[in-house]
């Protein structure tokens, strides 16, 4: 349509109004078609709404036919501390006498001993120097021992030499030289973590020193310094004893203690006086060094702190049975002793297992033993350095539990990694570590008398070194089966969830019955479940009725009053009669007896004599329903069943009305018909719109031509007047004529 606006510029007519009026008259058929499309669309929407409401009713009914809410059962126990239970659909309504003799337990595998290598507090002189973990690593080369001014050489190879062999070589070199001019025996030993050389049986005196930092030859090994002999020696001494100053055992940082020791202050309270001791750098400080220093600090207070002084008291720390032990000897009276102070900055007491333990002053010469093992398996270190004694080092180990393989690499994986893999493996066990006993525990996820099958792959020994006795049950406590009696019948179950005692009933055991006692298990209708399902159905059914009433309403207007109301389906007889038909199907009697309709379950259209208009919807009486379920639960279940009761017939009727898989169903055929009519109407609207557009263009062209012609005539008239010398005023006075578009004045 042209966008040109006409205003009768030449003609003086309101041509746009004339055009609009003519077009409006021409558009009336199009307007009628558009109104018809709106009516059809409203009807299509109405059918869709009815279909949704029908689907909701079918879904509510299927709560009975699919999940069997109509035959739902509930099991109750007279003593929930012994058992609880649940009942499936159609379980027999009855009471049972139950006695629980034994609960099912899970098999448990526990390490036969602590898995971490014990800390002994002694230097292992049998290991090669490279593997002895000495506080200071000894390097390869030669060490000089000077005896009576003669330099002797002791060769050291950390890869092949043991600490014992080095000690023996030193002692032998000294003895060989002394025996060239004298008699005597030289022996080497480790005392409290330090090297001790004892020279006995000499007739004369001798001078001995160690190490040659300069000269020819100079020491090429650090053995003299590492053994603490570089500053020691004797001059002209008979039967000498030489003590190395270095502590040789592994440092605190390298021991497999429960955790990493930190440097700082630790404290003991001796007879009420706080005694401090500073723990040095754990990477440089050994356990023997700490025990000697802390013991000496305690001993000094024992000897000088009292009145009178207890000068004979001795305090000695040692390791006994993988635990730290403090022994007080030589005391003449009792002393009170405890550990830890608020100002302590080192965690050493906790790592050594003696934090917050004490001995009262009533005991003379007490022995105080730590509460936890010193040597334990480290959780986050690699398996090779976790302190698990005797573990084969491998990059591709395999542990098998219940047929499931768990791989590990001792050079990269930690014990924590292995435990995590076991728990995620699907082997059916839960693995954990008891840190108080340093043992691995495997607990079967399933209860019952079944062993856990544990084995090491060929060439691997992780299970064995974790103390799990692979291939046997030596490390296992086999689980037990549950045992119970139901109405005199003996039942055995591998699980505490017992499903083989009563048909369609699951019993959960949580405790054992007292000897001679029984508990009552009652199975009855699940009134709550059935009431919930019926209430949902009644609500959905009534909402369908409300929807149909709203869509089929046809209320006449009143003269001089309100306008009438007509629903989109007011002329659809099927929609108008649907609810009444469905209700009749639902409330029909089925079979004989007193419980042959839903009315006997409390589903009615209201009380007899109710006011008009109040009985068109369903109502549920919970009291009537509960009484019917208690009286005859099986008959109630049959009544709600899809094959024996009216619910099945109602579903069939509803699905005949609304079924997406059936194009001839009422809702599907109606909505399809509406869609076809809407499409046809839209096509007619398009044709009619084209006619209107053409008509509008035509009349606009005609009025444009008229205005153009009038303008031409006006121009010609003006030219003629000009040629004749006629002005507007003279023309007006002589002829009294006026031309559109000129002015006229009176004479």
Structure confidence by residue, pLDDT tens digits, 357-370? 988 888 899 999 99
Tens-digit pLDDT profile for residues 579-632: 999 999 999 988 777 788 899 989 998 765 544 445 678 999 999 998 988 888
Does one domain contain both 531 and 662? yes
Quote the tokens at residue 518: 């029984």
Conformation bin of residue 357: beta by default, left when phi > 0, alpha when psi is -120 to 50? beta
| Angstrom distance (rounded) from CA 265 to CA 267 | 7
Question: Which alpha helices (DSSP H) does 66-184 contain, by range?
Answer: 163-178
Does one domain contain both 197 and 166? yes
Does one domain contain both 517 and 644? no
Does one domain contain both 196 and 228? yes
Listed in sequence order, the residues at least 6 apart from 386 whose beta carbon sits closer than 8 Å to its beta carbon are 116, 256, 377, 378, 379, 414, 415
Q: Is residue 650 part of a domain?
A: yes
Quote the tokens at residue 95: 């009471």
Does one domain contain both 151 and 239? yes
DSSP 87: E
Q: Which of 648, 667, 686 is the last residue of a domain?
A: 667
At residue 542, the pLDDT reads 94
| Angstrom distance (rounded) from CA 195 to CA 243 | 6
Counting the structural domains of the chain, the total is: 5
Q: Which of 626, 645, 667 is the last residue of a domain?
A: 667
Q: C-alpha 46: how far from its chain's center?
A: 47
Q: Is residue 25 part of a domain?
A: no
At residue 4, the pLDDT reads 44
What SS3 class is residue 522? Answer: strand
Q: Is residue 119 part of a domain?
A: no
Q: Is residue 658 part of a domain?
A: yes
Does one domain contain both 512 and 577? no
Q: Is residue 114 part of a domain?
A: no
Does one domain contain both 278 and 361? yes
Does one domain contain both 531 and 652? yes
At residue 67, the pLDDT reads 59
At residue 1, the pLDDT reads 44
Does one domain contain both 544 and 599? yes
**By residue range, what is the domain housing residue 170?**
141-243
Does one domain contain both 488 and 538? no
Listed in sequence order, the residues at least 6 apart from 745 whose beta carbon sits closer than 8 Å to its beta carbon are 728, 729, 732
Q: Which among 315, 360, 368 is positioned nearest to 335, based on CA atoms?
A: 360
At residue 735, the pLDDT reads 41
At residue 738, the pLDDT reads 39
Note the pTM of the prediction, 2 decimals.
0.62
Does one domain contain both 537 and 663? yes
Q: Is residue 747 part of a domain?
A: no
Q: Is residue 626 part of a domain?
A: yes
At residue 612, the pLDDT reads 43
Q: Which residues of the chain have pLDDT under 70?
A: 1-13, 64-70, 213-216, 560-561, 607-615, 727-747
Tens-digit pLDDT profile for residues 279-295: 999 999 999 999 999 99
At residue 200, the pLDDT reads 96
Does one domain contain both 234 and 152? yes
Residue 734 exposed, middle or buried by CB count within 10 Å (0-12, 13-18, 19+): exposed
DSSP 99-127: EEEE---EEEEE-SS--BPPP-SS--TTS
Q: Is residue 21 part of a domain?
A: no
C-alpha separations of 552 from 421, 578, 590 in Å = 67, 11, 31
């Amino acid at each position: 349509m042209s966008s040109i606006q006409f205003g009768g510029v030449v003609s003086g007519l309101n041509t746009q109004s004339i055009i609009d009026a003519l077009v409006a008259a021409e558009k009336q058929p199009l307007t009628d078609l558009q109104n018809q499309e709106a009516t059809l669309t409203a009807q299509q929407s109405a059918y869709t709404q009815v279909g949704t409401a029908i689907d909701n009713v079918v879904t509510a009914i299927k709560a009975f036919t699919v999940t069997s809410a109509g035959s739902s059962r509930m099991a109750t126990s007279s003593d929930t501390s012994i058992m609880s239970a649940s009942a499936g659909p159609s379980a027999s309504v009855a009471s049972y006498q139950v006695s629980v003799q034994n609960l099912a337990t899970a098999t448990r595998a526990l390490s036969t001993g602590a898995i971490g290598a014990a800390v002994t507090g002694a230097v292992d002189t049998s290991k090669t120097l490279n593997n002895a973990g000495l506080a200071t690593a000894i390097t390869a080369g030669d060490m000089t021992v000077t005896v009576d001014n003669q330099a002797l050489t002791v060769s050291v190879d950390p890869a092949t030499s043991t600490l014992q062999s080095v000690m023996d070589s030193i002692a032998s070199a000294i003895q060989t030289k002394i025996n060239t001019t004298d008699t005597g025996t030289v022996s080497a030993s480790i005392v409290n973590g330090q090297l001790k050389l004892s020279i006995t049986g000499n007739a004369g005196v001798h001078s001995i020193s160690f190490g040659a930092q300069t000269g020819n030859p100079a020491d090429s090994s650090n053995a003299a310094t590492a053994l603490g002999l570089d500053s020691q020696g004797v001059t002209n001494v008979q039967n000498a004893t030489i003590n190395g100053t270095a502590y040789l055992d592994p440092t605190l940082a390298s021991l497999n203690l429960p955790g990493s020791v930190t440097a700082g202050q630790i404290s003991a309270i001796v007879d009420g006086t706080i005694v401090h001791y500073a723990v040095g750098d754990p990477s440089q400080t050994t356990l023997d060094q700490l025990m000697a220093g802390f013991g000496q600090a305690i001993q000094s207070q024992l000897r000088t702190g009292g009145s009178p002084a207890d000068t004979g008291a001795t305090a000695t720390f040692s390791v006994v049975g993988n635990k730290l032990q403090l022994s007080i000897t030589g005391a003449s009276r009792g002393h009170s002793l405890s550990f830890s102070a608020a100002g302590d900055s080192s965690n050493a007491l906790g790592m050594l297992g003696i934090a917050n333990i004490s001995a009262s002053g009533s005991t003379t010469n007490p022995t105080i033993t730590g509460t936890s093992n010193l040597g334990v398996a480290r959780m986050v270190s690699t398996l090779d350095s976790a302190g698990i004694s005797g573990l084969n080092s491998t990059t591709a180990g395999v542990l098998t539990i219940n047929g499931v393989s768990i791989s590990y690499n001792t050079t990269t994986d930690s014990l924590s990694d292995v435990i995590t893999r076991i728990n995620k493996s699907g082997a059916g066990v839960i693995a954990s570590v008891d840190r108080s006993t340093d043992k691995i525990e495997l607990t079967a996820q399933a209860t019952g008398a079944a062993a856990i099958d544990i084995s090491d792959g060929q060439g691997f020994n992780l299970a064995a070194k974790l103390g799990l006795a692979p291939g046997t049950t030596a490390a296992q406590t086999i689980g037990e089966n549950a045992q119970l009696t139901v109405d005199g019948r003996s039942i055995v179950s591998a699980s505490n969830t017992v499903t083989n005692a009563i048909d369609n009933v699951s019993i959960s055991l949580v405790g054992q019955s007292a000897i001679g006692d029984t508990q009552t298990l009652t199975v009855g209708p699940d009134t709550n479940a059935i009431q919930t399902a019926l209430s949902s159905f009644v609500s959905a059914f009534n909402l369908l009725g409300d929807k149909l009433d709203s869509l089929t309403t046809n209320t006449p207007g009143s003269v001089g009053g309100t306008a009438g109301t007509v629903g989109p389906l007011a002329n659809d007889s099927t929609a108008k009669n649907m609810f009444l038909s469905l209700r009749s199907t639902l409330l029909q009697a089925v079979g004989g007896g007193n419980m042959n309709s839903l009315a006997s379950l409390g589903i009615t259209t209201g009380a007899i004599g109710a006011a008009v208009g109040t009985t068109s919807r369903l109502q549920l009486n919970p009291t009537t329903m509960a009484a019917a379920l208690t009286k005859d639960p099986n008959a109630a279940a049959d009544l709600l069943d899809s094959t024996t009761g009216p619910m099945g017939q109602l579903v069939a009727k509803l699905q005949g009305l609304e079924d997406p898989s059936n194009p001839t169903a009422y809702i599907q055929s109606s909505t399809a018909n509406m869609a076809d009519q809407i499409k046809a109407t839209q096509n007619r609207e398009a044709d009619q719109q084209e006619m209107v557009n053409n008509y509008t263009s035509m009349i606009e062209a005609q009025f444009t031509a008229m205005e153009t012609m009038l303008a031409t005539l006006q121009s010609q008239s003006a030219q003629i007047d000009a040629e004749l010398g006629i002005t507007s005023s003279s023309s007006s006075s002589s002829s009294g004529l006026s031309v559109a578009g000129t002015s006229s004045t009176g004479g």
